Chains A and B, each alone.
Chain A
Amino acid sequence: MTESTDLLQGTLDLLVLQTLAAGPMHGWGVALRIQQVSQDVLQIGQGSLYPALHRLEYKGWIRADWGNSDNNRRAKFYALTATGRKQLDAELKGWERLSAAIGLVLGQIPEAAS
């Protein structure tokens, strides 16, 4: 198995929302897509993926509908709601701020050391 990275607390919700922003998708698709896009670095265990999907559904950020998959199997498709889209924007901004801040700190340490 490829080396995987532990997800930062709370970032799974962001990843799921971002993935679903591309269009409705079933749970399998979400897991697969995150894995592909992250070039196998991020592997979402089912043990956390499905609870996360349900949590987001209860919060009203995503919506679930039954539909047919590519191979014509009944599957549950998740789609971003309007609230979810807003939440995604907010979380993206928060993430950018956080990663920029971390980047700053990490970037400065070598300079200070040298």
Chain B
Amino acid sequence: MIREALTHLSLLFLCRKSQELDEELRFHLEQATELRIAAGMPPEEARRQALIEFGGVERVREQCHQQLPGWWLGTVAQDVRYTLRGFRRNPVFTIAVIATLAVGIGATTAVFSVIDRILFRPLPYTHGDRLVSLGLGQPLERQEFTLGGFFFEWRDNQQPFQSMTYEMGYGDCNLTENQPVHLHCISVAQNFVPTMGIPLQLGRNFTAEEDLPNGPRVAMITDGLWLRRFNRSTAAISQQINIDGHLTRIVGVLPRDFEMPRLQPTDILQPAQVDIAAQHTVNSGIGYPMWAFARLKPGITVAQAKAAMQPLYLHTQQWIPPELRKEFRLQVRSLRDRQMQDAYAAAWVLLGAVLVVLLIACANVASLFSARGAARQRELAVRSALGASRSRLVRQTLTEAFLLALAGAAAGCVFAEILLRVFIAIAPTGVPFLASARLDPRIVLFTVLVSLICAALFGIVPALEKPRAIALAARQTRSGADARLRRLLVAAQIGLSVVLLSGASLLVRSFWNLQQQSLGIATRNVITVHVPLNWERYPSGFLDFYLRTEAALRRLPGITAVGMTDSVPPIGGQGMRYPELRVVGRAPTPAGLGGTVSVRHVTPDYFRALQIPIVNGPGFTDPERNSTGHFMILSRELAARMFPGEDPIGKRIEVAIFNPYRAPGLIYSVVGVAANVKNAGLTGDDGPELYELATNQPDTWSDRHFFVLDSSLPVSVVAQLIRSSIAQLDPTAPVEVSSMTQTVNQLADRPRFETALLGFFAFCGLLMAVIGLYGVISFVATQRTQEIGIRMALGATRFDILRLIADEGARLILLGGLLGLGAALASAQLLKSLLFNVAPRDPLTYAAVTVLLAVVALIATLIPARAAMQVEPVVALRYE
């Protein structure tokens, strides 16, 4: 609309201008004629002389027009019209370019938008880049944590930080009002909010008095809770809510984008009210566990801060039992690094893959443009001969590239939005922030610019060459340099696809291995039931509730076994150090050797519900649950390690406690050996494991225990029965039911996600490379039609022709394939951390990829080659 109006306006203006100019020039001519008449020339001759002297009127007119600032804008509309006409005449080229650009731009933008959130997103804290996480690193817990006995000494003596704060991560609490709701309450230090730089929406931070032991009960609530419970009313401030039976006053509302630095779910922040003086006495003298964060002083780097904290750490080492000291080390790193430690590898691989896709897309666009450029050489030569200037031709090409990039970008944005939705739908919950990923306009702009530049670059090259007169005369247009460039581009595309394909195949094989491995447990028909109970309602412990629930569940139809445990495979149980186990009558294993042992606290039916065979000994029995004895089942691996060549049944094992020093522990009787199960996640190795019998001693039961059921009915049916039977025992108890298959599947979500994405990119890449190959071969075949006709007339068979054309493709495939294999082998190491039971240079994978690519690429070559073979010699000879 606007453009049209402007064009009309400028045309009107130009019209008026040109009339004036005509009059002016006429006046000039008349004056010149009159001068000559006055000198005595006959009028006819005078006019002729004046005209000769004047020269080309049209040229002057043109030049006058060109003096107008921005006169060339008028030609843009002309170029656009011409370009659109060209696109209509050549829809295959247009669609190929737009589709290529759409895939390239779409995939790049979607993935960048995701990666951006993971790798480069700003933390939702004021100057979040100055925040660090610090604490103790240890083999059992890679993410650093700290303890009250350490933290306060560090905080009071540290130099590098403006302030240090902590959160204690006490997770569960219940909003015990009319409708009981299970919430996540986190205890934090009084200076947590100001140190992290969290701007409150409403209200105030905790005061120092509120953080003292036994201080008043106050809370800050998140935006989500504010909305759900108070509908964002400002009256929420200083209202009281009932948390676990205690009236708690709300003093502040956290911002909408609030998140805990460890990203755990949060509804309520409460002051930790830690008794600092008691930290050297509680929890065996090391203090409560906590997670420490600090804000760097300006100009201090993370490395400097770590160096400055090292002496303090060495001083506080005295609180660690000497035999464990060398396991611990001080860990200081930026908050971002802590949050992203697992996502980095996947993010970089995705980024690499998508850049390769973009490269292939650019190469494809470039080779398409270049092929078209060669085909249009005659047209350009004709236009040039008709008076189009070089700059005009370049502008014309630029207009084309720009229009195509624009169309491609529009299609790409739509594609990106769809892709992003797909990502979010299939992504595992473990990928942080994916759900909130949005298309970033800056990234869209960037990718559009990249494609525009590569289109323009390769589009301009043929236009820049002075259109040779020979192109006009020649019956056939050929440009050797262009053809070579095009072939190189196609070879590069094939090479890049090999890189993508081999990466994707490795991930597929790894995923296959992951799915095929034996977990050592049955997952079909196994249901887990978790009841997060509230301490306050069960002052005498949970045992009674658990026993009654167990009995109720056993009565349900279709339930064949009801076991209880505090964890299920493939996740490990609580960690224990191997030296903490001592066979009675033998010397203890030296501390620091032997790694860790996974410990589960289970009832006898646990083994039946998960179908873990007891390979030796009687196992746990129900009567033993009521005894005061201590019984233990070892995994086969642990048994073989502790009792090589002996029968472990009846042996006695002391479980020592290292808190803080080695103290005499409980003596357990070994009553069985169970088959090994996965206990270090899907990708981990089986570790040694032991089972303690959960006896009916109330103090050994925690709120972490849950039920494992073997059901002959589907989960959806049983879940309702389970809920209602538990509701009869305690109507306020929240019940979480999930199927084991689902839980295990969720663990594989992440590899599935990575595999699906990389597979998709590999497919895109291969598709584009094949299109590129097909395009070039069919172009070459068309250009050589006349040659083919001559060859056939001279006696070449059709098979010779097929070989002639296919040869060309085969050379490209060979070159590209070799380059790609080299690049893939060189970059395979990047994938290593994502692979399971597959070597990054697995020969079988590379062989398969090579064969697949060769077959697909040969087909892309043979189709145009066959077409060339079937050309009738007479037609080919006449062909122009």
Contact = CB atoms under 8 A, between A and B. Distances in A.
A75 B32 CA distance: 14
Contact of B67 (A54, A75, A76): A54
Contacts of B59: 47
Q: Name the interface size band of chain A.
A: 10 to 19
A4 interface: no
A46 B68 contact: no
A76 B56 contact: no
A47 B60 CA distance: 5
B24 A27 contact: yes
A31 B60 CA distance: 15
18 contacts: A27-B27, A27-B28, A31-B28, A46-B25, A46-B28, A47-B55, A47-B56, A47-B59, A47-B63, A50-B25, A50-B60, A50-B64, A54-B21, A58-B68, A58-B69, A69-B27, A71-B34, A75-B27
Interface in B44-68: 53-56, 59-60, 63-64, 66-68
Interface string A39-67: 00000011100110011001000000000
B202 to A, nearest CB: 59
**Most B-side CB within 10 Å, residue of A26, A47, A54, A69:** A54
A28 B67 contact: no
Contacts of B24: 26-27, 50, 75-76
B30 to A, nearest CB: 7
A27 B25 CA distance: 9
A43 B31 CA distance: 16
A51 B30 CA distance: 19
Interface string A78-98: 000000000000000000000
A55 B68 CA distance: 7
A19 B569 CA distance: 99
B23 interface: yes
B327 interface: no
A8 B24 CA distance: 26
Contact of A26 (B27, B53, B67): B27
List the 9 closest pairs (A to B, CB-CB), nearest first: A51-B63, A28-B31, A55-B67, A54-B67, A54-B64, A76-B24, A28-B28, A75-B27, A46-B54
B20 interface: yes
Contacts of A50: 21, 24-25, 28, 60, 63-64
B68 to A, nearest CB: 6
Given A47-B60, A76-B20, 15 more contacts: A26-B27, A28-B28, A28-B31, A46-B25, A46-B53, A46-B54, A46-B55, A47-B56, A47-B59, A50-B64, A54-B64, A58-B67, A73-B30, A74-B23, A76-B24
Interface in B422-481: none
Contact of B32 (A28, A51, A55): A28
Interface in B27-44: 27-28, 30-32, 34
Interface in B305-345: none
A51 B63 CA distance: 6
Interface of B: 20-21, 23-25, 27-28, 30-32, 34, 53-56, 59-60, 63-64, 66-69
Contacts of A31: 28
A71 B25 CA distance: 16
B71 to A, nearest CB: 10
Interface string A10-32: 00000000000000001110010
Contacts of B60: 46-47, 50-51
B52 to A, nearest CB: 11
Contacts of B53: 46
A71 B37 CA distance: 15
A31 B667 CA distance: 120
A45 B55 contact: yes
Contacts of A55: 67
Q: Which of A27, A31, A51, A55 has the most CB of B within 10 A?
A: A51
A28 B68 CA distance: 21
A35 B231 CA distance: 89
B27 A51 contact: no
B178 to A, nearest CB: 80
A23 to B, nearest CB: 18
A46 B53 CA distance: 9
Contacts of A47: 55-56, 59-60, 63
Contacts of B64: 50-51, 54
A65 B406 CA distance: 45
A54 B61 CA distance: 11
Nearest to B28: A28
A28 B66 CA distance: 21
Contacts of B23: 74, 76
A57 to B, nearest CB: 8
Nearest to A52: B67
Contacts of B32: 28
Contacts of A69: 27
Contacts of A27: 24, 27-28
Nearest to A43: B53
A28 B59 CA distance: 18
A96 B820 CA distance: 67
A31 B28 CA distance: 10
A88 B49 CA distance: 34
Contacts of A71: 34
Nearest to A27: B28
B29 to A, nearest CB: 9
A52 to B, nearest CB: 8
A69 B55 CA distance: 24
B49 to A, nearest CB: 11
Contacts of B68: 54, 58
B27 to A, nearest CB: 5
A103 to B, nearest CB: 33
A24 to B, nearest CB: 14
B67 A51 contact: yes
A50 B59 CA distance: 11
Contacts of B54: 46
Nearest to A57: B67
B27 A28 contact: yes
A26 B30 CA distance: 13
A47 B67 CA distance: 13
Given A47-B63, A54-B67, A76 B27 contact: yes
Contact of A74 (B27, B28, B31, B69): B27
A28 B23 CA distance: 12
A10 to B, nearest CB: 15
B517 to A, nearest CB: 79
A3 to B, nearest CB: 16
Contacts of B27: 26-28, 69, 73-76
A20 to B, nearest CB: 15
Most buried by B among A26, A50, A74, A75: A50
Nearest to B65: A54
B15 to A, nearest CB: 16
Contacts of A75: 24, 27
A6 to B, nearest CB: 16
A46 B67 CA distance: 15
